[in-house]
Amino acid sequence: MEIVDLRGKAWRFDERLEYLANRGEILTEEYEERVKEIIRNVRERGDEALIEYTKRFDGLELTPDTLEVPYEELENAYEELDERVKEALEIAEERIRVFHEKQLENSFFKEEEGIILGQKVLPLERVGVYVPGGKAAYPSTVLMNVVPAVVAGVEEIVMVSPKPNRYTLAAAYIAGVSRVFQVGGAQAVAALAYGTDSIPRVDKIVGPGNIYVALAKKLLFGVVDIDMVAGPSEILVIADESADPSWVAADLLSQAEHDELSAAILLTPSEGFAKKVRDELNRMLDSLERREIAKKSIERFGTAFVVEDLFHACEVANFIAPEHLEVVTAEPMSLLPYIKHAGAIFLGRYSPEALGDYVLGPNHTLPTGRTARFFSPLGVYDFIKRSSVIYVSKEGFDRVADLAEVIAKAEGLSAHALSVRIRMEE
């Protein structure tokens, strides 16, 4: 882990900080043309292209009849779960559901003299959920992406995942997924966006994935709605000397083990504390099952920035706008008013990011790569749409018609003005 001193300098221009802030752009251009080709093939050839790519990338021999996982397999996976795992997933589902029920929006109407105005809130009809698969199991991703859609009232939830295992399928059963297809990558995203003979076209695609998945979602935005363009995972910890260096090191590694492009960042006013965290992190690395991935992540992006004080730390954190932000200080609540940009904020020494990944309730699908400046965590609001409702009586029309005509003429839109004037002359 590299240690960089930001004290007494124009820190926004620091080379290491700039490198971390822009890491999401790495390899984008190299992969984009490949993703465009995959999208084009799936759009033109449908299931045939999907089956070819699944064999090439995932080593899975499929036919149009075996693309979909029979629903009975979801139920069987659930029934065969170890009871402790089943209980944990069910409690997690309940906590996620209860939290997201607070986000529900209601339709509303307001009436004035001769005018009724309102907003009608409706769930999307069909959404697609992408869940990474292959060697890893991500039942938590299933719960976090599906439960808000269920709470919103989405009619049909279509999940795609390459080689989904029993934990993923069981979570799909618990969460309320409608259909599961064992395909992944950019090809699965394209299939959801355009539809094929086997996979229905959806209105929105949510869920994390590798760079192929992220780029496919980005390129298909407009054809279909998406939650966000998610990049590699990241964690930023603000800590002072009251924190335990080994706890902080473990929290940093919890994201480094995700991906070689993941970033683990520490902000602290104490250079001595930064060195202790670095030493603890190096000591723990060799004991990790995913140590090779974590090592590469730490080597490329692991950084401890020494700052002037905790307020300076908040300023730097706002610039980075991290996906996960932990505040492990003597008085963590006191810093909350100064934090503007973060996907999720974890306050206090007993609030490791890993708890948020699984059982607390708030969503773990979060904005990455500085997009927390304008994106929010996934929520019920991502699965609804709003329609304006307008009723105007003759009395109401007479109150506002001349104003509309004046503005229409000012804009030079004579047909707009005519559509109002013709009623005024009735």
Q: Is 353 left (phi over 0), alpha (psi -120 to 50) or beta?
A: alpha
Kindly report the pTM of this predicted structure: 0.91
Query: Both 63 and 203 in a single domain?
Result: yes
Q: Identify the domain boundary among 198, 228, 258.
A: 228
Q: Quick count: other Cβ atoms within 10 Å of Cβ 109?
A: 11
Query: Could you tell me the CA-to-CA distances from 414 to 402, 404, 410, 419, 422 in Å, in that order?
Result: 14, 12, 9, 9, 12
Per-residue pLDDT of 123-147, as tens digits, reads 999 999 999 986 677 999 999 999 9
For residue range 207-264, list pLDDT tens digits in order.
998 889 999 999 999 999 999 988 889 999 999 999 999 999 999 999 999 888 899 9
The one catalytic residue in 93, 280, 323, 326 is: 323
- Specify the pLDDT at position 25: 65
271 flagged as catalytic: no
* Domain final position from 206, 228, 250: 228
CA atoms within 13 A on the CB side of 183: 34
**Residue-level pLDDT at 196:** 97
Question: With contact defined as beta carbons under 8 Å apart, do 20 and 303 qualify?
Answer: yes
331 and 362 inside one domain:
yes
Q: Tens digits of per-residue pLDDT, 170-213?
A: 999 999 999 999 999 999 999 999 999 999 999 999 999 888 99
152 shares a domain with 141: yes
3-state SS assignment for residue 374: coil
User: What pLDDT, on the 0 to 100 scale, is given for residue 124?
Assistant: 98
Is position 323 annotated as part of the catalytic site?
yes
Exposure on the CB side of residue 28, measured as CA atoms within 13 A: 15
Cα 70 from Cα 73, distance rounded (Å): 6
pLDDT in the model for residue 203: 98
Do 409 and 362 have their domain in common?
A: no
Q: Are residues 253 and 365 in the same domain?
A: yes
| Residue 313 lies inside a defined structural domain of this protein | yes
Note whether 141 and 131 are within 8 A (CB).
Answer: yes
Q: Where does residue 31 rank: exposed (0-12), middle (13-18), buried (19+ CB within 10 A)? A: middle
Closest alpha carbon to 261 in 368, 112, 116: 368
Residue 259 CA neighbour count, 13 Å, CB half: 15
Q: Could you tell me if residue 250 is inside a domain?
A: yes
Domain assignment present for residue 384? The answer is no
Does a structural domain hold residue 263? yes
Say which of 280, 324, 353, 364 is annotated catalytic.
324
Distance CA 203, CA 394 (A): 38
| Same domain, residue pair 77 and 218 | yes
Q: Distances in Å between the alpha carbon of 158 and those of 196, 252, 273, 360? A: 13, 34, 47, 25
Contact between 158 and 128 (Cβ < 8 Å): yes
DSSP string for residues in 213-234: HHHHHHHHBTTBEES----S-E
Predicted local confidence at residue 182, as pLDDT:
96
Q: Which residue numbers in the chain have pLDDT < 70?
A: 24-29, 134-135
Do residues 140 and 220 share a domain? yes
Q: What's the total number of domains in the chain?
A: 3
Residues 67 and 99 placed together within one structural domain of the fold: yes
Q: What is the CATH classification number for the domain harbouring 256? A: 3.40.50.1980
For residue 232, the model assigns a pLDDT of 85
Structural domain that includes position 408? 393-424
CB burial readout 242-270, b (16+ within 10 A) else e = ebebebbbbbbbbbbbbbbbbbbbbbbbe
